[in-house]
Amino acid sequence: MHVTRLVGLGLTLGTVAMAGATDGPGQMRPLSLSDCIQMALAHNLDVQIQRLGPELAGLSLSGAYGAYDPNFTASAVRASSSVPGGVDEQGRLFPSTVNESDRFSAGISGLTPTGFGYQISGDLADNYGQNAFGAFERGQGSVNLRMSQPLLKNFWIDGARLNIRVNKNNLKISELTFEQQVMNTVAAVQQAYYSLIAARETVKVQEKALELAEQLLRENKKRVEVGVLAPLDEKQAESQVAASRADLLGAQSNLRISETRLKNLLTDEFSAWQGVSLEPSERLEAPAQVFHLQDSWSKGLSLRPDLLQARLDLERRNIILRYDKNQLFPQLDLVGSYGLGGAGEEFSGTLAGISRRDSPTYSYGITFSIPLSRRTARTNYRTHKTELERALLQLKKLEQGIMVEVADAIAQAQTSFERVKATEEAMLYAVQAYEAEVKKLENGKSTSFQVLQFQRDVTLRRSQAISALSDYNAALARLALSEGTTLVQNNITVEVK
């Protein structure tokens, strides 16, 4: 099978065209295992669903970086107030006053990845109106820079950095989740494909059994007619024909179910496959395998996506614990500011004063704050520390479970391979015994009942041989899944961009 690449959360595949969408009713569709795997990777709904996971995680990570996006603010305000004139208590007249102002302000503020915060702002105001001294107009403005840098709490990690690191971790986990889904799908396709081959072969076995039963019935009828056999032998043969026909119907039903299961894995348009019969182009074989438990353990503990996800989750918990530990420190920030002011009769005069740096201002210092009770921070730290300890134990349990799973998979594969040889021998001996018994019946040295027993045994042994072959191939697929080598063995590369 050629290398299958998943690029940009998509699939660049040499995929066989989905001819099932145009095949007519009752048409046979030959498919190799490689064809089925490629179709599943391109059209399986579970794969398509999980393929969106890394994309969503990437969007969350991109959004987390928004904490460092500068924030721009601006405002323009006009205000007016007036006080009517009148006479005070001493009988003196006082004039009315009118005060109007136009104020403009703008600023940019933001945060850097070191926790350094900044704010650059500027404002202009023009005040004018009428008072007791006559008309007046006065403008003023300033440009200011304010800065702060945490020295203890929020120094090596803060909420923004925590969110980014956790989202990076989640992105890796989502990629491994997608990879695990691809592996599960490939393994499911393999097992469904082997089951379909076995189901088709079982139908052939039952058809042969029915053919033999009908042949024996015809021969028994002839013998009954000439008086060589009793009518009871004919009834026994008829009973076997009816039983064989029922077994054939059951095998055909199982074949349809096996086809449906495989189709469900291959397509996202199930109705397009209605009336199409799948015909596997490969045969069940039993290739000998050399099993190395230590090697399989090493693969499972280094390649399994679920184990890698658990380790990433442990890393995520460590990040959160580090943040919680930093939150136990008091708030100690280095702060500073610098500004330029200006004043004049109009905006132009104000701006000229700022440019001449007539009124510079600056400040620097530190601010300190600590809650009298750090109960929340301490509780969070202890809680996440305990959860980390539990996650470590869960990781150890998962590693041990993988070792047990791999060991069981190897044992099952070995046993299945031995069953293949044993069932093949049993089938050959059953066929030889049946043929010998038929000859004895022809020579009048056996009975129809005995031949029927041998016939049923032949059918059983053939079915068992097919089942053993299917079980062995399925066991190899499960072993690869347990080791985490499913993609490697099928030359599939998962690439997420």
Closest to 409 (Cα-Cα) out of 489, 293, 295:
293
Whether the per-residue pLDDT at 145 is higher than 50: the answer is yes
Mean pLDDT for the stretch of residues 11-27: 42
pLDDT digits (tens, 9 = 90+) for 63-78: 999 999 999 999 998 8
Residue 20 has pLDDT above 50, yes or no: no
Q: What is the DSSP string of 69-90?
A: S-EEEEEEEEEEEEE--EE-TT
Distance of CA 346 to CAs 75, 139, 141, 244, 494, Å? 19, 5, 10, 108, 67
pLDDT of residue 23: 42
Any long-range contacts for 282-288 (C-beta under 8 Å, 24+ apart)? 282/32, 282/33, 282/193, 282/197, 283/197, 284/194, 284/197, 284/198, 284/201, 284/466, 284/469, 284/470, 284/473, 285/469, 285/473, 286/417, 286/420, 286/421, 286/469, 286/472, 286/473, 288/417
* Closest CA relative to residue 139, chosen from 129, 124, 126: 126
User: Count of alpha carbons within 13 Å of 267, Cβ hemisphere only?
Assistant: 19
Instruction: Work out whether strand 4-6 and strand 492-494 pair parallel, antiparallel, or are unpaired.
Output: parallel
Tell me which CATH homologous superfamily contains domain 4-64+162-319+381-494: Outer membrane efflux proteins (OEP) (1.20.1600.10)
Q: Per mean pLDDT, which range of 31-35, 95-99, 388-392 is the poorest? A: 95-99
Burial label for 148, CB within 10 Å (0-12, 13-18, 19+), is: middle
Q: Of 466, 469, 478, 467, give the one whose Cα is nearest residue 412.
A: 478
pLDDT value for 451: 85
Neighbours of 333 (CB within 10 A): 20
167-221 residue pLDDT tens: 999 999 999 999 999 999 999 999 999 999 999 999 999 999 999 888 888 887 8
- Distance (Å, rounded) from C-alpha 125 to C-alpha 356? 18
pLDDT tens per residue across span 277-307: 899 999 999 988 899 999 999 999 999 999 9
DSSP 16: P
- What is the structure's pLDDT at 5? 35
Dihedral pair phi/psi, residue 228, rounded to 5°: -80, -35
Paired with 81 in beta bridges are 99
Please check whether residue 402 is in contact with residue 304, taking contact to mean a CB–CB distance below 8 angstroms. yes
Question: What pLDDT is attached to residue 227?
Answer: 74
* Residue boundaries of the structural domains of the chain: 4-64+162-319+381-494, 71-112+116-153+331-369
CA distances from residue 182 to 21, 94, 177, 447 in whole angstroms, order as listed: 24, 88, 9, 57
What is the 8-class DSSP label of residue 3? P
- Nearest residue to 490 via CA among 173, 175, 51, 41: 41
CB contact at 8 A, 455 and 209: yes
Lowest mean pLDDT among 224-238, 281-295, 436-450: 224-238
Q: Which two tokens stand for residue 457?
A: 């045994």
| pLDDT score at 437 | 87
The pLDDT-based confidence of 16 (bands split at 50, 70, 90) is very low
Of the listed ranges 93-107, 410-424, 482-496, the one predicted with least confidence: 93-107
143, pLDDT greater than 80: yes
Q: What is the mean pLDDT of residues 406-411?
A: 96
